[in-house]
Amino acid sequence: MTARSVLESGLMPGIRKVGELFSIGEYYLPELLISGKAMQAAVAELEPLLNAGGEKFHAGKYLIGTVKGDIHDIGKKIVMMMLK
């Protein structure tokens, strides 16, 4: 499998499912955090392969932050991974 297909066919549907389960109360914050950390680790492994493909495009500039005092930044990290 290519790195892109691993991302698009495996990781993205998986993290979407985690979000769905969290939204209906079947998953709780610990499962959400563990899933996010697993996604981060997987993307870190795939990133060099994705960048090596030579496919470059400019999707604009984004400013991402966390509300002061919020200790949960998992959503921000997932958005950053998807934008990369």
State pLDDT tens for residues 30-81. 898 899 889 889 988 988 887 776 666 566 788 888 888 776 777 777 777 7
Q: CATH 1.10.1240: does it fit domain 3-83?
A: yes
Is the pTM here over 0.75, yes or no?
A: no
The domain spans of the chain are: 3-83
Residue, of 1 and 14, whose pLDDT is higher: 14
Which of 53 and 17 is assigned the larger pLDDT?
Answer: 17
pLDDT of 23 reads 92
Which among 36, 50, 55 has a CA at the least distance from the CA of 1? 50
Tokens 């955090």 correspond to 33
- For residues 7 and 43, is the Cβ–Cβ distance under 8 A? yes
Give the residue from 8, 36, 3 showing the smallest Cα distance to 22: 36
